[in-house]
Amino acid sequence: MKKFLATMASTLMAVSLVGCGASTSAGTPAPAASEAPAATAEAAPAATAEAAAAATDGDLSTKKVGVCIYQFSDNFMTLFRTELENYLISLGFSKENITIADGANDQATQTNQIDTFITDGVDVLIINPVNSSSAATITDKVVAANIPLVYINREPDESEEARWKDNGWKVTYVGCDARQSGTMQGEIIADLGLDAIDFNKNGKVDYIMIEGDPENVDAQYRTEFSVKALTDKGLEVNCLSDQVGNWDQTQGQQLVANALGQFGNDVEVVFCNNDAMALGAKQAIADAGRTVGKDIYLVGVDALTEVCEDVLSGAITGTVFNDHIAQSHSSADAAVNFLTGKTNEYYIGCDYVKVTKDNAQSILDSLK
C-alpha cells in the first residue's frame, strides 16, 4: 500500500469527466489521500480504542453519537452503518444514544439533520456527506459547536483536509483510496489476456463504463484507474460508452441494457464503479442472451455477498473488497479517540482486496 500511494503521490491526478475519452483537467491536484500516510488506521487500532474506552470507566455509555448517512437505500452504506452501530455498542456506547439519520441523497435534508444533532448536543458526529463539496460548510458549523467530527466514505477535497490540520481541529476522514480499487478492477481484466478478451478480434479491449455519482472521488478514480491498469499493461482500449448510474442497481441495469442494444457483441467488458450496478449489469447481460466468462466480462467493487457468490459461480468476473468492517471500526475508534482526549491522523486509510474465483470463498467466510 505504501508503495502504491507513493507511486500515486508522484502522479499528477486528472479528474476524468463522464464520456468516453473525455478530456481530463490536467493539473487538478490529488486529494489529500495521496499524501496521507498509508493505513493510518494503525494509529487508532481497535485495541487502543477499547483501552481508551475502558479508561473512561464506562463513560461511553452516556456519550451521544450522531451519524449521518448520505442515503439508507445504498447497499454498501447499509453494511457500513449496521457494522458501525454494532461496533459502537461493543465499545460501550448505548444503543439509545446512537442516532443514525438518512440524508435521502439530499444535502439540504442532511444539513438540517446536522443542525438538529448540534442543537441536541451530541458529543461526536460521524458524517457520510451527500455532497463532499459541502464539507467546508459542514466542518465550519460542527467545529464552531465544538463537536469532534469523523467524515466517512466520501472524501472531502485536499484544501478542506488541509484546514483541519492547519487549525488543529478535531476532524478526520476514514476511507480507502479509490485509485487502488480501480487499478484492481483493471488488473482482473488485464490478467485474462487480450486473446481471451478480444472476442471481436479488433486488437482492442472494447468496454463500457458505468459510473457512480461523478461528484464522488471514488467514481472518478475507479473510472480512470480501471482503464489505466489496462493501458499500463500495454493493452489498447476502446470506450464504447461511459454513463452515470449513480451507484444504483436499477440505473446500472438500464444503462447496460441500452449499451448492449446499441453496441451488441462489440461489448467485451463492463466496468461498474460498484457492485450494486454490477448486479444490474448482470441482469442486463443475461437478458441480452450474453454469458459472462464466455462472450463478455463484468467487474464491480465492494464484494457484496451476492456478488462474491456470483464470482464463485462465474456469473460475475470479479470484484474488489471495499472493507466496510475495517472502515466502520476505524471511524468508531477515531470517534472514541476524540472523546477520550486523544488525537487522530487527518486521514485514516484502509486497503482494498482484489476478489476473483480464487479467493471469493475466503472473502465470503470473512464476512460471516
Q: Which residues bind ligand BGC (CB under 6 A)?
A: 74, 76-77, 153-154, 212, 216, 218, 247, 274, 276, 301-302, 322
Which helix (H) or strand (E) covers residue 367, if one does?
A: helix 360-367
Cell for 354? 482484489
Which helix (H) or strand (E) covers residue 70, if one does?
A: none
- Of 216 and 223, CB closest to ligand BGC: 216
Q: Are strands 269-272 and 297-299 parallel, antiparallel or unpaired?
A: parallel
Q: Are strands 297-299 and 319-321 parallel, antiparallel or unpaired?
A: unpaired
- Contacts of 348 by beta carbon, 8 Å cutoff, 6+ apart: 40, 41, 43, 44, 172, 173, 174, 175, 330, 331, 334
CA separation for the pair 131, 219 (Å, rounded): 13
Question: Helix, strand, or coil here: 304?
Answer: coil
The nearest distance, CB 168 to ligand BGC, in angstroms, is 28
What residue type is 269 in one-letter code? V
- Of 36 and 301, CB closest to ligand BGC: 301
- Of 153 and 183, CB closest to ligand BGC: 153
The nearest distance, CB 82 to ligand BGC, in angstroms, is 14
- Of 117 and 247, CB closest to ligand BGC: 247
- Of 91 and 301, CB closest to ligand BGC: 301
CA separation for the pair 309, 132 (Å, rounded): 32
The nearest distance, CB 275 to ligand BGC, in angstroms, is 6
Q: Let me know the angle formed at the C-alpha of 191 by 304 and 1, rounded to the nearest 5 degrees.
A: 65
Cβ contact 279:303 at 8 Å: no
The nearest distance, CB 320 to ligand BGC, in angstroms, is 9
The nearest distance, CB 74 to ligand BGC, in angstroms, is 5
- Of 127 and 339, CB closest to ligand BGC: 127
The nearest distance, CB 178 to ligand BGC, in angstroms, is 7
Backbone angles phi, psi at 270, to 5 degrees: -115, 115
- Of 5 and 130, CB closest to ligand BGC: 130
The nearest distance, CB 77 to ligand BGC, in angstroms, is 6
